[in-house]
C-alpha cells in the first residue's frame, strides 16, 4: 500500500497502534550524494502483523510527525537491517532515533560466523529460502516520481521478509544465550552521541607528535563535522583526512584565516565558521591526549599482534560469532600499546577481552598448533592455557 497523503498516514498509524504489535519492521530508501553530508530520504517502509505500507516522504505536505507515536513507542520494537544508514536518513526528518531497535544484521552476527557484515538478501535466502533480486533496482533514483510498481514492490520486500526474520533471529539469540549481549549492543547504538569519527580511524599519531598537535587535530575533526553539517557537504569536500595533520602543524605556526585558506575553500570560511575553529581549539586545551598518542609506537610487537588475530579468529569461529562484530585489528594494536580499547568493555570483555587480559598479565599462555589438512593446507589453531 502506497501512502502519499497525511490523512492516509494518520489512518495507517491508527490501525497499527490499535493492533498493539510487539514489533514492526522498518526500512528506508534514500539517495546519498557523495558530495553531500546528509542523505535524501525518499521512502519509509513499515510491516506489521496485519499489514504493510510504503510511505512517500516526498509527497506534498506529508506530515511525518504522525509516525512519532510509533517510532518512539517503547512497547514496540523497531526491526531494521543494518540500522545505521537508515537512522542517518531518518534523522534528517526526525529529532530522535527510533527506540527500542533490533538490528537483524547484528543479531545474525551474534549467532553465526560470517566473514563480513552479512547482507539482508543472504539472511532471507538462508532462513526463509527466498531469493531476492537486489541488483536490478539497487542504483535506482528514489527521488523520481511517480514510483513504478516494481519500485514499490522492491521497497515492500525489504520489510515483509524483515518482519519474518525477527522472530527467527530472536529465538536464535535466546538459544545461544546471547540476548543480553545483543541488547547491550543495541543500547550502544541508540545512546551513541553525535560522533566525528574515531580519531584512530582518521589518522595515526606517531610517538613524536606533540600534545598541541593532537589537540589541534582533534579540534579540526570536530570543526570539520560541524562545517559539513552546516553547509551540507561531505567531509572530504571540505578537508581530506590526510590533510588534517598538516593543517594542525600550520595552525601552530600561524593561527589565522590565511592558514585556513590554504586548505579550505573560501566559500566555507565565513566569519562565524572561522571563529568556531579557534574557539574549539581553545575549549579543547584540557583534553586528555594520553589515549590518543603513540598509536604506532615501537613497542608494538607485530608477532604478538598476529597471534592475537589468529586467536580472535579461532575463538570467534569456534563460538559461532562473527569476528567483525567482536573487535578490529586497530583495537588490538591500541591494546598492545597500553591504550583504551572497546574490546575491554561490556560483553566484548566477557567474551574475548578477559582472555587477552590474562595473557598480557602473564596469567596464561598462548599455545599455537599447526595441522596439515589434505596434505596441503596448514590449519593453525591457537588456544589459551593457564600458566
Question: Measured between alpha carbons, how far is residue 128 from residues 131, 157, 162, 165 in Å?
Answer: 9, 13, 10, 8
Count CA atoms closer than 13 A to 70's CA, side-chain side: 28
What would the grid cell of residue 195 be?
560522533
Query: Mind listing the pLDDT tens digit for each residue in 293-335?
Result: 444 444 447 788 888 999 999 999 999 999 999 999 888 988 8
pLDDT score for 86:
96
In the chain, which stretches have pLDDT less than 70?
193-208, 287-300, 370-387
pLDDT score for 202:
58
Q: Which residues contact 146 (CB under 8 A, 6 or more apart)?
A: none
**Alpha-helical segments (H) within the chain:** 6-18, 68-71, 83-90, 104-111, 120-128, 149-175, 179-191, 199-202, 211-231, 235-238, 244-253, 257-261, 271-283, 302-319, 323-326, 329-336, 346-348, 354-360
pLDDT score for 201:
54
pLDDT score for 259:
96
pLDDT score for 197:
52
pLDDT score for 376:
63
pLDDT score for 181:
98
Q: The domain 199-291 is classified under which CATH number: 1.10.730, 2.40.160, 1.10.150, 3.30.70?
A: 1.10.150
pLDDT score for 365:
76
* Ramachandran sector of residue 205 (left: φ over 0; alpha: ψ -120 to 50; beta: rest): beta
Would you list the domain boundaries of the chain? 2-191, 199-291, 302-386
Scan for cell 518482519, then name that residue: 163
User: CATH topology for 2-191?
Assistant: Nucleotidyltransferase; domain 5 (3.30.420)
pLDDT score for 387:
57
Query: Mind listing the pLDDT tens digit for each residue in 76-131?
Result: 999 999 999 999 999 999 999 999 999 999 999 999 988 889 999 999 999 999 99
pLDDT score for 360:
81
The pairing of beta strand 364-373 with beta strand 377-386: antiparallel
Question: Measured between alpha carbons, how far is residue 153 from residues 1, 71, 127, 134, 318 in Å?
Answer: 9, 23, 21, 12, 39
Amino acid at each position: 500500500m502506497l501512502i502519499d497523503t497525511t490523512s492516509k498516514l494518520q489512518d495507517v498509524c491508527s490501525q497499527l497502534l490499535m493492533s498493539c504489535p510487539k514489533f514492526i519492521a522498518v526500512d528506508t530508501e534514500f539517495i546519498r550524494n557523495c558530495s553531500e553530508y546528509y542523505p535524501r530520504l525518499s521512502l519509509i517502509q513499515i510491516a506489521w502483523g496485519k499489514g504493510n505500507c510504503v510511505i512517500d516522504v516526498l509527497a506534498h505536505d506529508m506530515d511525518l510527525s504522525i509516525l512519532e507515536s510509533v517510532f518512539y513507542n517503547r512497547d514496540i520494537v523497531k526491526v531494521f537491517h543494518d540500522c545505521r544508514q537508515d537512522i542517518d536518513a531518518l534523522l534528517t526528518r526526525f529529532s530522535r532515533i527510533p527506540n527500542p531497535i533490533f538490528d537483524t544484521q547484528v543479531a545474525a552476527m551474534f549467532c553465526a560466523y560470517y566473514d563480513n557484515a552479512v547482507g539482508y538478501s543472504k539472511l532471507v535466502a538462508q532462513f526463509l529460502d527466498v531469493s531476492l533480486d537486489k541488483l536490478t533496482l539497487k542504483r535506482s533514483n528514489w527521488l523520481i516520481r511517480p514510483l513504478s510498481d516494481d519500485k514499490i514492490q522492491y521497497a515492500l520486500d525489504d520489510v515483509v521478509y524483515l518482519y519474518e526474520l525477527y522472530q527467527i533471529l530472536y529465538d536464535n539469540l535466546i538459544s545461544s544465550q546471547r540476548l543480553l549481549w545483543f541488547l547491550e549492543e543495541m543500547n550502544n547504538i541508540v545512546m551513541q552521541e553525535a560522533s566525528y569519527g574515531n580519531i584512530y580511524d582518521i589518522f595515526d599519531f606517531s610517538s613524536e607528535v606533540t600534545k598541541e598537535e593532537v589537540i589541534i587535530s582533534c579540534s579540526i575533526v570536530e570543526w570539520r563535522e560541524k562545517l559539513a553539517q552546516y553547509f551540507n557537504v561531505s567531509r572530504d569536500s571540505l578537508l581530506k583526512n590526510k590533510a588534517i595533520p598538516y593543517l594542525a602543524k600550520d595552525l601552530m605556526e600561524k593561527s589565522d584565516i590565511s592558514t585556513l585558506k590554504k586548505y579550505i575553500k573560501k566559500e566555507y570560511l565565513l566569519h562565524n565558521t572561522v571563529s568556531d575553529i579557534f574557539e574549539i581549539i581553545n575549549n579543547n586545551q584540557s583534553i586528555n591526549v594520553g589515549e590518543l598518542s603513540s598509536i604506532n609506537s615501537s613497542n608494538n610487537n607485530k608477532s604478538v599482534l598476529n597471534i592475537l588475530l589468529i586467536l580472535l579468529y579461532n575463538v570467534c569461529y569456534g563460538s559461532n560469532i562473527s569476528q567483525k562484530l567482536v573487535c578490529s585489528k586497530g583495537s588490538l594494536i591500541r591494546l598492545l600499546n597500553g591504550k583504551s580499547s572497546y574490546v575491554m568493555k561490556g560483553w566484548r570483555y566477557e567474551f574475548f577481552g578477559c582472555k587477552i587480559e590474562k595473557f598480557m598479565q602473564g596469567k596464561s599462555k598462548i599455545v599455537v598448533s599447526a595441522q596439515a589438512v589434505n596434505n596441503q593446507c596448514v590449519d593453525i589453531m591457537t588456544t589459551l592455557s593457564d600458566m
